[in-house]
Amino acid sequence: MAEIHLRRVYDFSAPAPEYCYLIDRLWPRGISKERLQGVEWLKQVAPDNALRQWFHQHTDQWDVFAQRYRQQLAESDAWQPLRVLLQQGKSLTLLYGSKDTQHNQGVVLRDFLLDQING
């Protein structure tokens, strides 16, 4: 069964596993391209700039952020290649920059993708 692994990009080191994606809108500060060699950057699946900036100012409103981000995902098809890989039984690694490992876009994206493949 396919799995989705979430990892903080600052705790990540090469070699990158197969199907490893950076899911931040902005390139992580202080991380070189060489350090993420083999990682595909999928900034189009990240929350848009307005939502990203809003959440940065309203970190206490996790549920609102998650709802708005899920809505953005539902209105986009950028995540479809990830869904296809999961349906093929491939495991994914999603890298994010947030310090908060429980409240970040990776958690929302993982749950959204799992909902999509599990019906």
C-alpha distances (whole Å) from 117 to each of 2, 26, 30, 44, 86 are 10, 27, 35, 20, 7
Is-contact 91 2, C-beta < 8 A? yes
| Among 70, 74, 92, CA closest to 16 | 92
Q: Is the pLDDT of residue 1 over 80?
A: no
Buried/exposed 89-109: b ≥16 CB within 10 Å, e otherwise? eeebbbbbbbeeeebbbbbbb
- pLDDT given at position 65: 98
What's at 105, amino acid-wise? Q
The domain in which residue 8 lies consists of 4-118
* Interval 17-66: pLDDT, tens: 999 999 999 999 999 999 999 999 999 999 999 999 999 999 999 999 99
Query: Residue 66's CB: how many other CB atoms inside 10 A?
Result: 17
* Interval 69-100: pLDDT, tens: 999 999 999 999 999 999 999 999 999 999 99
Question: What's the number of domains the chain is made of?
Answer: 1
